[in-house]
């Protein structure tokens, strides 16, 4: 099992084109020894889910800065479930107001990272909470 690496999809759903954070994260994940599938901006939830399944990822990391997270994040979680892939962990990050969080957790997101979170703490969260599936 020693060759197993955590596989993570880094995607930006929706119309928001600010992808610097997502790229920095992708790089940090690479340096942490993860295999990162990077799809960048302007993804529909359907695309995110399809890629997650084709790539057999353990985690989907969504980034959103535009305010559309309330619709987009739950939609990804819902569609994964519909495809029988609810075992894929969904996490999110970006400009997420405190009051939106309960609904996102309710929708199935496992963790939300807001501005000021360090790269190390995100990597650590993943290492603690995600196991590369057998």
- Please report, as ranges, the residues that interact with another protein according to CB under 8 A: 1, 3-5, 7, 26-27, 29-40, 43-44, 46-47, 50-51, 53-56, 83-85, 134
| 19 or 96: CB nearest another protein | 19
Instruction: Supply the minimum distance, in Å, between the C-beta of residue 26 and another protein.
Output: 6
Q: Output 50 or 66, the one with its CB closest to another protein.
A: 50
Smallest distance from another protein to CB 98, Å: 32
Check: CB of residue 14 under 8 Å from CB of residue 45: no
Contact 59, 9 (CB under 8 A): yes
Task: Give residues with Cβ within 8 angstroms of 52, minimum separation 6.
Answer: 9, 60, 80, 85, 88
C-beta of residue 96 within 8 angstroms of C-beta of residue 63: no
| Smaller CB separation from another protein, 29 or 104 | 29
29 versus 113: smaller Cβ distance to another protein: 29
Residue among 107, 96, 70, 76 nearest 11 (CA): 76
* Shortest separation between residue 76's beta carbon and another protein, angstroms: 13
């Amino acid at each position: 099992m020693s060759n197993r690496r955590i596989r993570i999809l880094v995607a930006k759903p929706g119309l928001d084109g600010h992808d610097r954070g997502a790229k920095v994260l992708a790089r940090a994940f690479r340096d942490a020894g993860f295999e990162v599938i990077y799809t960048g901006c302007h993804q529909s939830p359907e695309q995110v889910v399809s890629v997650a399944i084709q790539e057999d990822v353990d985690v989907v990391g969504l980034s959103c800065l535009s305010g559309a997270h309330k619709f987009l994040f739950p939609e990804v979680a819902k569609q994964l479930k519909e495809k029988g892939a609810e075992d894929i962990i969904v996490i999110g990050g970006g400009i997420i107001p405190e009051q939106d969080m309960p609904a996102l957790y309710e929708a199935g997101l496992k963790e939300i990272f807001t501005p000021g979170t360090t790269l190390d703490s995100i990597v650590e969260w993943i290492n603690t909470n995600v196991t590369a599936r057998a």
